[in-house]
C-alpha cells in the first residue's frame, strides 16, 4: 500500500534533485527519494564500515576483482573462520581481463575490516568493495 507524502522545495533544489535522480539511473522520483532516505538513515544509524562499532554484527557482500593467479590466496580467506562466508561466486570477465569473486558474509564489523585489509594486501588483487545489507526489523526472510 502506498501513501502520498508532499514535499516543497525551492527551484534550485528541485533541479539538482532531478539531475541526481537521472545520474543515478532512476526514472521514478518517489523511488529515488525512498532509496536515498533509507540509505541515509542506515548510514546515520550504523555509520560506514570504518566507523561502525567493532562488535556490530553485519552481513553483506564482498566483491573482489583480481588476477587469476591470486585465486588460491583468496580461497584461504574464504575458508578461514574469521567471517561466516555463506555463498561464493567466481566469474572470469573477458572484456576487462580480470576475475571477480562475490562472497556473502556475516560477521562483526571489525572482522570485515581485517578481512578486507588482508584481501587488499594479496598480490594481484585490483579492487575490493563491500556492500552492507540494509537493516530491517521485518521483511521477506
For the chain, the domains span 11-46, 57-132
Fold of the domain built from segment(s) 57-132: Alpha-Beta Plaits (3.30.70)
Looking only at Cα atoms, what is the longest distance across the chain? 55
**Structure confidence at residue 112 (pLDDT):** 97
Q: What percent of the chain has pLDDT over 90?
A: 59
Averaged pLDDT score across all residues of the chain: 90
Grid coordinates representing 96 are: 576487462
Q: 87-90 — which CB contacts under 8 Å span 24+ positions? A: none
> What are the DSSP E strand ranges found in the chain?
57-66, 84-93, 98-108, 125-132
The pLDDT tens digits of the residues spanning 8-24 come to 989 898 889 889 999 98
Report how far residue 81's alpha carbon sits from residue 108's, in angstroms, rounded to the nearest whole number: 12
Query: Whole-model pTM?
Result: 0.75
C-alpha 23, offset from chain centre: 19
Grid coordinates representing 17 are: 534533485
* DSSP for residue 68: G
Bridge partners of residue 124, in order along the sequence: none
Amino acid at each position: 500500500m502506498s501513501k502520498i507524502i508532499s514535499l516543497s522545495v525551492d527551484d534550485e533544489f528541485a533541479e539538482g534533485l532531478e539531475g541526481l535522480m537521472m545520474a543515478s539511473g532512476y526514472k521514478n522520483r518517489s523511488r529515488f527519494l525512498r532509496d536515498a532516505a533509507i540509505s541515509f538513515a542506515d548510514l546515520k544509524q550504523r555509520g560506514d564500515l570504518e566507523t561502525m562499532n567493532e562488535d556490530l554484527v553485519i552481513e553483506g557482500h564482498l566483491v573482489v576483482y583480481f588476477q587469476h593467479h591470486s585465486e588460491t590466496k583468496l580461497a584461504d580467506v574464504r575458508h578461514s573462520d574469521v567471517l561466516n562466508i555463506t555463498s561464493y561466486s567466481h566469474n572470469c570477465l573477458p572484456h576487462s581481463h580480470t576475475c571477480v569473486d562475490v562472497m556473502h558474509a556475516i560477521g562483526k564489523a571489525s572482522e570485515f575490516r581485517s578481512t578486507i585489509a588482508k584481501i587488499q594486501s594479496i598480490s594481484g588483487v585490483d579492487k575490493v568493495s563491500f556492500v552492507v545489507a540494509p537493516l530491517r526489523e521485518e521483511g521477506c526472510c
